[in-house]
Amino acid sequence: MIKYILFIAILLVSVIVYANNNTSLKQVPYKNLFEQPSDTKSRASVGYMLHRAWVQVTNKKADENSIKQSSVSMTKLEHDDFSVTWLGHATMLIKAGKLWILTDPVFSQYATPTPPLGPKRLVQLPLDMKDLPHIDIVLISHDHYDHLDLQTVRTLANQENGSPLFLTGLGLKSWFEANVSDAKVEELNWWDEIKLGNAEFVFVPAQHSSGRAFTNKNETLWGGWTVEYANKKFYFAGDTAYEEELFKQISQKVGHIDFAALPIGAYKPRNLMRFEHMNPDEAVQAHLDLKPMKSIAIHWGTFQLGDETSDENRADLTSAIANQRVENFKLIAIGQTEEIGVEVQD
């Protein structure tokens, strides 16, 4: 009975969202570098939204989402110089010398403004927030709920010994001021650089969008990040569709990338998702465009955001890697750590 009540509630919300998404387009501050004429900006019909809602409410495909997990040892991480630990989805814990950095931290059970409605975590976190070291810097790629989680950033802002510095795209500082008053925030435009300690950060473009409600579409800037430390460079793509020229520009402007974290999930149905998310074939092509020493797949295996399952993510990426004869793009376990500048081991 509860599921049917939830379904009716989602139906009402879906109708409202659909109605608002189809009103006359208003001017928005930010656009992608590469606007596609075929992109209508309409991502979903009522029918599709109801389909997705039913999948979430019934947990229909949960048994098709198997993924390897590894426990995180903070004792081992403390001895790393420059490493990345994947905590699931787009959340990564980076050790760069004495700096501890998080990307798009989401430690909640749901990636939604209205839990329990919306995507639920499919696998448990490999690390509890209370076991984190003091976080110095948080890199936010954009404001979608699976990348910017209010509960998590509030907890981080109130950590012992003070808030980390949240680095965001333009426009997000006001959201933090309204919702996370203790947070220290610095906004950057595309290609802006900031040096903190012995590390340098660059906010790079992505082919995506922003908006936490149907009333504020693209009012804050989205992107990815590069982190340079000890003459090694890590690229965190955040969330992006594939554009050959985008990755060529990033490679040309920031220089050689040693390690890349590329998103592979939420790509079905392709007619809706292709303007926002790469599929595994495109992720492998992005890897070839960027020419890093190694890449890993992120943005999969944690929340069911598209019609494909994690098992399909894995199978499609494995096929893409084989078809394009790539040896240095890998799937890793949630909780697994990779050193930057060291080749990925099978």
Of 277, 271, 146, 147, nearest in space to 208 by CA: 277
pLDDT tier at 187 (50, 70, 90 boundaries)?
very high
Same domain, 89 and 128: yes
Give me the percent of the chain exceeding a pLDDT of 90.
Answer: 69
Rg (CA), the chain: 19
Digit-coded pLDDT (tens) for 10-25? 554 554 454 444 444 4
Of 305, 307, 267, 304, nearest in space to 283 by CA: 267
Is 136 inside any structural domain? yes
Using alpha carbons, list the distances in angstroms from residue 311 to 62, 66, 75, 336: 10, 6, 32, 18
Same domain, 88 and 105: yes
For 308, residues 6+ apart whose C-beta sits below 8 A from its C-beta are 265, 266, 267, 268, 316
Residue 255 token pair? 């220089």
Is 39 inside any structural domain? no
Same domain, 84 and 7: no
Q: In the prediction, which pLDDT does 92 show?
A: 98
Same domain, 134 and 280: yes
Same domain, 50 and 69: no
Q: How far is the C-alpha of 237 from the C-alpha of 194, rounded, in Å? A: 18
For 315, residues 6+ apart whose C-beta sits below 8 A from its C-beta are none
Is 38 inside any structural domain? no
Digit-coded pLDDT (tens) for 142-166? 999 999 999 999 999 999 999 999 9
Of 215, 190, 211, 217, nearest in space to 201 by CA: 190
pLDDT tier at 203 (50, 70, 90 boundaries)?
very high
| Domain housing 53 | 1-24+44-60
Is 112 inside any structural domain? yes
Is 106 inside any structural domain? yes
Is 153 inside any structural domain? yes
Same domain, 133 and 226: yes
Same domain, 55 and 78: no
Average pLDDT, rounded, for the chain: 88
Same domain, 288 and 217: yes
User: What is the pTM for the complete model shown?
Assistant: 0.90
Is 3 inside any structural domain? yes
Q: In the prediction, which pLDDT does 18 show?
A: 46
Of 125, 118, 123, 121, nearest in space to 66 by CA: 123
Q: How far is the C-alpha of 253 from the C-alpha of 256, rounded, in Å? A: 9
Strand partners, 186: 167
Phi, psi (rounded to 5 degrees) for 63: -80, 0
The CATH number of whichever domain residue 228 belongs to comes to: 3.60.15.10
Same domain, 50 and 172: no
Same domain, 327 and 190: yes
pLDDT tier at 185 (50, 70, 90 boundaries)?
very high
Same domain, 117 and 263: yes
Q: How many domains does the chain have?
A: 2
Same domain, 223 and 151: yes
Using alpha carbons, list the distances in angstroms from residue 114 to 1, 27, 43, 71, 287: 19, 28, 20, 30, 35
Of 255, 252, 244, 323, nearest in space to 287 by CA: 244
